[in-house]
A = this chain, B = another copy of it.
Amino acid sequence: MSENKKIIEALLKFRNERDWEQFHNPKDLALAISVEANELLELFLWKDASEADLNKVKEELADVFAYTFLMAEKYNLDVTEIVMEKIKKNAEKYPIEKSKGRADKYTDL
């Protein structure tokens, strides 16, 4: 089994043992991803990047991963496939010569 299939299996086992599939519709999963992303973000609030607590970063990042993997599973999406496709798309939006060393959004290039 692939690495990400194993992660997803572990997440589903945890979820199903608690009978939580009933709550995990895609809209609430999207909410959960945003909520967890902001618990991660909060670790950097009022601080320099280097001041965040690494142990907490680990846990909150894991939570973001957990719900993004569950969302991928919900739609039966292959993680490698969607990320690789997006990289290709972004390569067109951000051609190297135009975007090199610039932080601008593609709409401002």
Copies held by the complex: 4
Bound-complex Cα distance A28 to B40 (A): 11
A19 and B101 form a contact (CB under 8 A): yes
Whether A64 lies near B68 (C-beta < 8 A) is: yes
Task: Report the minimum CB–CB distance from A6 to chain B (whole Å).
Answer: 7
Q: Which residue of B lies closest to A61 (CB)?
A: B71
Chain B residues positioned under 8 Å from A52 (CB to CB):
26-27
Q: Are A41 and B34 in contact (CB under 8 A)?
A: yes
**A contacts with B, residue count (CB < 8 A):** 72
Q: Which of A30-63 contact B (CB under 8 A)?
A: 30-35, 37-50, 52, 54, 57-59, 61-63
- In the complex, residue of chain B having the shortest beta-carbon distance to the beta carbon of A79: B65
- The 0/1 profile, CB within 8 Å of B marked 1, for residues 58-100 of chain A is 1101111110110110010101101111110111001010011
Residues of B near A62 (CB, < 8 A) are 82-83, 85-86
A2 to B89, CA, bound (A): 24
For A38, what are the chain B residues with a Cβ–Cβ distance below 8 Å?
34-35, 37-39
